[in-house]
């Protein structure tokens, strides 16, 4: 049995999801030879540290009731720099301008030779090369399945499961908020603004939805996929992006009457990375509705492979983090 000491830096929806799945899957973790102890947790203002392992149920209850993980004041970055542990689970907010606190945290972890598992796509969409170099230099391992498709195993599918295949191209829907809005606009023949408001009421869209509806979120995920799967050295700025804000219910109906749906499709093809609304034949595996995401690759020996699933959510995203942790440490 291997004892792995971990920190969770960022304790919002995903960080709490990680704590919940670690509790829920503790027997399974033991079965695959991993004694996972979370020795430190930080949110933006507070922290809790215990070298023997913090009580995750207590921290979850504290975050719920008091909006704080504990009473400690040691910041996330100082935990990474000073607390003895092997693994940093980085789940702070995404920053697509300069990588934000997530980039600083990841580089600090690599400097100490620690492994990083993250759901934070901003740093990877901007500085993939720098991060992978830094991790290699220090012998750290770096896993980020959760940055791309929530519960969908995008990176593992392309890099591990389909090993030996050459991936010729890929396309998919990587943003559940946009997919929900487009699906509902068609169903209700209602304008964009009305269905955005509905999505916000249901908690599917953020108060500031621009990151999703302008295609920025999809573009960030595509850059990660392009770099990992196609060995490109792209950044977010290399993506051509059009969002969904100008789509009308009339356009959706016209498309539907001709046998098509309009979907926000991200694709990597011939070295180009593109995000734009596209016509998808009804009945095509890409024509999934509601908040679902879908990922499809063309391969040289397996032909087309498509997977669909939930692209976001606390537990769904935590499941991708858990699978990365297990793949790093299982015996
Ligand atoms: N939610 C999803 O479904 C989903 C899916 C895939 C990927 N992701 C990505 O996963 C990451 C986390 O998402 P989320 O939904 O959990 O976000 P969230 O609910 O906003 O949580 C972010 C957490 O980070 C904390 N934080 C902010 N600045 C910090 C700092 N300097 N040091 C330590 N902690 C800090 C926040 O503290 P407070 O609690 O004090 O505010 C909060 O606990 C993001 O990068 C997001 O893009 C999310």
Q: Are residues 135 and 162 in the same domain?
A: no
Average pLDDT over the chain, rounded to an integer: 96
Residue 167: which CATH number?
Answer: 3.30.360.10
Residue 143: the pLDDT is: 98
Ligand 1 atom 15: the closest Cα is on which residue? Answer: 13
Q: Identify the band that residue 207 occupies on the pLDDT scale cut at 50, 70 and 90.
A: confident
Kindly state if the Cβ of 91 falls inside 6 Å of ligand 1. yes
Residue 299: the pLDDT is: 97
Are the beta carbons of 221 and 149 closer than 8 angstroms?
Answer: yes
Regarding beta strands 142-143 and 115-118, do their DSSP bridges make them parallel or antiparallel, or are they unpaired?
Answer: parallel
Residue 31: the pLDDT is: 96
Residue 40: which CATH number?
Answer: 3.40.50.720
Determine whether 2 is an active site residue: no
Cα–Cα distance between 57 and 52 in angstroms, integer? Answer: 15
Interval between CA 147 and ligand 1 midpoint (Å): 12
Q: Are residues 130 and 177 in the same domain?
A: no
Q: Is the pTM of this model over 0.85?
A: yes
Q: Which residues pair with 1 in a beta bridge?
A: none
Kindly state if the Cβ of 119 falls inside 6 Å of ligand 1. yes
In the sheet that 167-173 helps form, which strands lie side by side, from edge to edge? 240-241, 272-281, 260-269, 167-173, 292-299, 303-310
Interval between CA 119 and ligand 1 midpoint (Å): 9
Kindly state if the Cβ of 120 falls inside 6 Å of ligand 1. yes
User: What are the pLDDT digits (tens) for 258-311?
Assistant: 999 999 999 999 899 999 999 999 999 999 999 999 999 999 999 999 999 998
Does residue 163 register a pLDDT over 90?
A: yes
Q: Are residues 121 and 191 in the same domain?
A: no
Cα–Cα distance between 146 and 320 in angstroms, integer? Answer: 5
Kindly state if the Cβ of 12 falls inside 6 Å of ligand 1. yes
Q: Are residues 85 and 63 in the same domain?
A: yes
Residue 328 phi, psi dihedral angles, 5° rounding = -75, -40
Are the beta carbons of 272 and 266 closer than 8 angstroms?
Answer: no
Interval between CA 299 and ligand 1 midpoint (Å): 35
Both tokens assigned to 218:
């999809």
67: alpha, beta or left, given left = phi > 0 and alpha = psi -120 to 50? Answer: left
> One of 63, 221, 263, 278 is an active-site residue; which one?
221
Residue 232: the pLDDT is: 93
Q: Are residues 160 and 281 in the same domain?
A: yes
User: What are the pLDDT digits (tens) for 28-73?
Assistant: 999 999 999 999 999 999 999 999 999 999 999 999 999 999 999 9
Kindly state if the Cβ of 312 falls inside 6 Å of ligand 1. yes
Are the beta carbons of 225 and 148 closer than 8 angstroms?
Answer: yes
Residue 211: the pLDDT is: 93
7, 8, 13, best to mutate for ligand 1 pocket (most atoms within 8 Å of CB): 13
Residue 236: the pLDDT is: 86
Q: Are residues 124 and 16 in the same domain?
A: yes
Domain tally, the chain:
2
- According to DSSP H, which parts of the chain are helical? 13-24, 26-31, 56-66, 76-82, 100-111, 121-137, 146-149, 154-156, 176-188, 192-201, 210-213, 216-230, 249-257, 314-329
User: What are the pLDDT digits (tens) for 228-257?
Assistant: 999 999 998 899 999 999 999 999 999 999
Q: Are residues 23 and 60 in the same domain?
A: yes
Q: Are residues 39 and 178 in the same domain?
A: no
Q: Are residues 134 and 227 in the same domain?
A: no
Cα–Cα distance between 167 and 297 in angstroms, integer? Answer: 7
Ligand 1 atom 31: the closest Cα is on which residue? Answer: 44
User: What are the pLDDT digits (tens) for 68-109?
Assistant: 999 999 999 999 999 999 999 999 999 999 999 999 999 999
User: What are the pLDDT digits (tens) for 194-206?
Assistant: 999 999 999 998 8
Q: Are residues 248 and 184 in the same domain?
A: yes
What length is written for the chain? 331
Q: Are residues 251 and 278 in the same domain?
A: yes
Residue 206: the pLDDT is: 87
Q: Are residues 255 and 281 in the same domain?
A: yes
Task: Give mean pLDDT, residues 95-124.
Answer: 97
Kindly state if the Cβ of 289 falls inside 6 Å of ligand 1. no
Does residue 331 register a pLDDT over 90?
A: no
User: Residue 117's closest CA among 92, 137, 142?
Assistant: 142
- Closest-lying ligand 1 atom to the alpha carbon of residue 10: 24
Structural domain harbouring 99: 2-150+314-329
Task: Give mean pLDDT, residues 127-133.
Answer: 96
User: Count H helices, E strands: the chain?
Assistant: 14, 12
Kindly state if the Cβ of 73 falls inside 6 Å of ligand 1. no
């Amino acid at each position: 049995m291997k004892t792995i000491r971990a920190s969770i830096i960022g304790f919002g929806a995903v960080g709490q999801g990680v704590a919940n799945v670690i509790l829920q899957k503790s027997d399974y973790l033991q079965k695959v030879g991993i004694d996972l102890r979370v020795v430190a947790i930080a949110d933006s203002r507070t922290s809790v540290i215990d070298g023997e392992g913090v009580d995750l149920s207590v921290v979850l209850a504290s975050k719920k009731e008091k909006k704080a993980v504990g009473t400690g004041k040691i910041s996330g970055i100082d935990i990474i720099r000073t607390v003895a542990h092997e693994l940093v689970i980085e789940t702070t907010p995404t920053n697509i301008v300069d990588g934000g606190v997530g980039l600083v945290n990841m580089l600090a972890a690599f400097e100490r030779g620690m492994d990083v598992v993250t759901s934070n796509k901003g740093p990877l969409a901007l500085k993939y090369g720098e991060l992978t170099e830094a991790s290699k230099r220090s012998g750290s391992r770096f896993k980020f399945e959760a940055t791309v498709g929530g519960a969908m195993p995008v990176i593992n599918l392309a890099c591990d499961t389909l090993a030996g295949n050459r991936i010729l191209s890929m396309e998919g829907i990587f943003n559940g908020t946009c997919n929900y809005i487009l699906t509902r606009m068609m169903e209700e023949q209602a304008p964009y603004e009305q269905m955005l408001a509905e999505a916000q009421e249901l908690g599917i869209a953020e108060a500031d939805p621009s990151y999703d509806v302008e295609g920025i979120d999809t573009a960030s995920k595509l850059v990660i996929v392009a770099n990992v799967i196609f060995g490109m050295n792209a950044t977010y700025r290399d993506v051509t992006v059009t969002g969904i804000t100008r789509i009308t219910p009339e356009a959706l109906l016209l498309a539907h009457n001709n046998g098509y749906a309009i979907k926000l499709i991200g694709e990597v093809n011939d070295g180009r990375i593109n995000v734009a609304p596209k016509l998808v034949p009804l009945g095509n595996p890409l024509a999934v509705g509601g908040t679902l995401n879908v990922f499809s690759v063309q391969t040289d020996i397996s032909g087309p492979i498509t997977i669909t699933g939930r692209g976001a959510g606390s537990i769904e995203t935590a499941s991708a983090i858990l699978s990365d942790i297990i793949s790093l440490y299982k015996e």
